[in-house]
């Protein structure tokens, strides 16, 4: 079971070090921490957990202001990256082609990748969930295939940061659909918290969780990790 913590634009280096001092997950669960760029070095220095970036560019270098290459992440000791998070798609205009290029470049450079897919509320209510997931997952599959260092994260966009959560059955169905297109581990990401983690992670098609707000507190994240081992 894999638990990935996406800290988004929270926790500078000092807060990162304080979090790591207080975070004590149980054995038997793989933990990935995804701090903001400014805190990657502090997280790597701890040597206690796998550290991923929150994004990575497809070029090794160039005139791409604000971007970070896979080679730079390697030099820091970072071992992977998220790509295609819904906030990157919605707020910064990333499309399926860009997400696929990021995933392929990172994997070819030897990084692990968690590639995010998911539908908006409007798409779900219009009955287009499977069409949206098919297009998103096939773009990643075409670019990266079933690479052993690739995992996916299903994020119902309407459940991110809203307090709403997909029912365990709905999440299981979406995960099964995604795996039918690309047979890689799939994490659930959508307002995962200690109160609902056990029920979600008990679903047979769910291989872990991508945790947002609930991962900012070390005790909260540790509780989710314990739910993953039960």
* The pLDDT value given to residue 207: 97
- Burial label for 63, CB within 10 Å (0-12, 13-18, 19+), is exposed
> Which residue among 85, 94, 147, 175 is the active-site one?
85
Reported as a single tens digit per residue, the pLDDT across 207-229 is 999 999 999 999 999 999 999 99
What is the reported pLDDT for 201? 96
How far CA 157 is from CA of 44, 70, 133, 180, 212, in Å, comes to 30, 27, 12, 21, 12
Given pLDDT bands bounded at 50, 70 and 90, which one contains residue 124?
confident
C-beta neighbour count of 199 within 10 angstroms: 13
Q: Is 138 a catalytic residue?
A: no
Per-residue model confidence as pLDDT tens digits over 79-123: 999 999 999 999 999 999 999 999 999 999 999 999 999 998 889
Residue 74 has a CB neighbour count (10 Å cut-off) of 13
3-state secondary structure of 50: strand
What pLDDT does residue 37 have?
A: 98
pLDDT band at 159 (very low <50, low <70, confident <90, very high): confident
Rounded to an integer, the average pLDDT of 23-31 is 94
* The two structure tokens encoding residue 72: 């730079």
What is the per-residue pLDDT across 189-204, written as a single tens digit (0 to 9) for each? 988 999 999 999 999 9
What's the number of domains the chain is made of?
Answer: 1
Q: What are phi and psi of 164, to 5 degrees?
A: -85, 145
Q: What is the pLDDT of residue 157?
A: 87
Region 29-53 average pLDDT: 96
Going by pLDDT thresholds of 50, 70 and 90, the confidence category of residue 18 is: very high
What was the pLDDT predicted at 31? 97
35 lies in which domain range? Answer: 2-229
Is pLDDT of 161 > 90? no
Q: Where does the pLDDT of residue 126 fall: very low under 50, low under 70, confident under 90, or very high at 90 and above? A: very high
pLDDT of residue 144: 94
Note the pLDDT of residue 209: 98
- For the cut 80, the answer to whether the pLDDT of residue 162 exceeds it is no
State the helix-helix crossing angle for 168-181 and 129-144, rounded to 10 degrees.
Answer: 40
Q: Which of 87, 94, 119, 155 is catalytic?
A: 155
For the cut 90, the answer to whether the pLDDT of residue 160 exceeds it is no
C-alpha–C-alpha distance, residues 186 and 180, integer Å: 11
- Within 36-148, where are the H helices? 40-46, 70-76, 86-92, 96-108, 121-125, 129-144
The whole-angstrom distance between residue 156's C-alpha and the CA centroid of its chain comes to: 13
Secondary structure of residue 146 in the 3-state scheme:
coil
Residue 85 annotated among the catalytic residues of the structure: yes
CATH code, 187: 3.20.20.70
């Amino acid at each position: 079971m894999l638990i990935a913590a996406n800290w988004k634009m929270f926790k500078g280096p000092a807060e990162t070090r304080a979090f790591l001092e207080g975070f004590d997950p149980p054995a038997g669960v793989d933990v990935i921490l995804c701090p903001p760029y400014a805190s990657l070095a502090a997280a790597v220095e701890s040597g206690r957990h796998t550290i991923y970036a929150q994004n990575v560019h497809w070029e090794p270098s160039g005139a791409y202001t604000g971007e970070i290459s896979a080679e730079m992440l390697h030099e820091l000791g970072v071992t992977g990256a998220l790509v295609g998070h819904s906030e990157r798609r919605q707020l910064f205009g990333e499309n399926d082609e860009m997400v696929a290029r990021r995933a392929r470049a990172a994997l070819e450079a030897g990084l692990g990748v968690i590639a995010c897919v998911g539908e908006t509320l409007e798409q779900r209510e219009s009955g287009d969930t499977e069409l949206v997931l098919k297009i998103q997952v096939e773009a990643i599959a075409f670019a990266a295939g079933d690479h052993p260092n690739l995992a996916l994260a299903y994020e119902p966009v309407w459940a991110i940061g809203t307090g709403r959560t997909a029912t365990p059955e709905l999440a299981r169905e979406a995960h099964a659909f995604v795996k039918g297109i690309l047979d890689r581990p799939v994490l659930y990401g959508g307002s995962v918290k200690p109160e609902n983690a056990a029920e979600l992670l008990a679903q047979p098609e769910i291989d872990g969780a991508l945790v947002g707000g609930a991962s900012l507190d070390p005790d909260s994240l540790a509780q989710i990790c314990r739910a993953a081992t039960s």
